[in-house]
Amino acid sequence: MDIQFFIVILIGIAVGAILLRGLYRFFFDKKKSPYCGSCTLCTAPPVSPDKKGIKVL
């Protein structure tokens, strides 16, 4: 099989898996934020404790 085609298929499988995981998390998983997929890409605050790094003061 063409090596480029083989790599493209592998990428397709990986992206498909990421997409399915995202969809599963969106609909079924317990989320930090009930509003979305908890991707942290907007400023919506999470509901459960935010596991940010612990700062030593």
Partner 1 sequence: MRLSELQTGQKGYITRVYGSGAFRKRLLEMGFVRGQEVRSILNAPLKDPIKYEIMEYEVSLRRGEAVMIEVSMLKSDVPENDLPREEWATRQLSDEGKTNMEHNGLFVAGKSPSPEKKIKVAMVGNPNSGKTSIFNLASGAHERVGNYSGVTVSSKEGHLKHDGYLFTLVDLPGTYSLSAYTPEELFVRKELVTGNPDVIINVVSASALERNLYLTTELIDLQVPMVIALNMYDELEQSGRTFDHETFSDLINTPIVPTVGKRGEGIPRLLEEVIAVHEANGQERVQIPYGRVLEKSIERMERELKGSIGTTWDMPPRYICSKLLEGDREMEKRVASLSGGKQILARRDKERAYIEKLLREDPESAFTNARYGFIAGGLKETLTEKTHRDDNTRILDAILTNKYVGFPLFFLFLWIMFEATFQLGNYPMEWIEASVAYLGNLVRGGMAEGPLKDLIVDGVIGGVGGVIVFLPNIVILYLFISFMEDSGYMARAAFIMDKVMHKIGLHGKSFIPLIMGFGCNVPAIMSTRTIESRSSRMITMFIVPFMSCSARLPVYILFVSAFVPSHGSLVLLGLYVLGILIAAFTAFAFRKTLFKEEETPFVMELPPYRMPTAKSVIIHMWDRSRQYLQKMGGPILVASIVIWFLGYFPYNGDREAAFDREMATVESKYDNNEISAGEREVTLAGITHERNTQHQANSYIGRLGRFIEPVMRPLGFDWKISVSLLSGMAAKEIVISTMGVLYTGDSEDQQSLQERLIAETHPDGSPVFTPLVVAGFLLFVLIYFPCIATIVAIKEESHSWKWALFSLFYSTGLAWLVAFLVYQVGNLL
Residue in 39, 3, 9 with CA at minimum distance from that of residue 21? 39
Regarding 17 and contact with partner 1 (CB under 8 A), the answer is no
* 13 contacts partner 1 (rule: CB under 8 A): no
CB of residue 41 vs partner 1: minimum separation in angstroms? 5
Tell whether residue 27 is a contact of partner 1 (CB under 8 A).
no
Binders of partner 1 among 32-51, rule CB under 8 A? 34-37, 39-47, 49-50
Phi, psi of 11 (to 5 degrees): -60, -40
Q: Is 30 in the site for partner 1 (CB under 8 A)?
A: no
Cα–Cα distance measured from residue 34 to residue 32, given in angstroms and rounded to the nearest whole number: 7
Inter-residue contact 8 to 14 (CB < 8 Å) = no
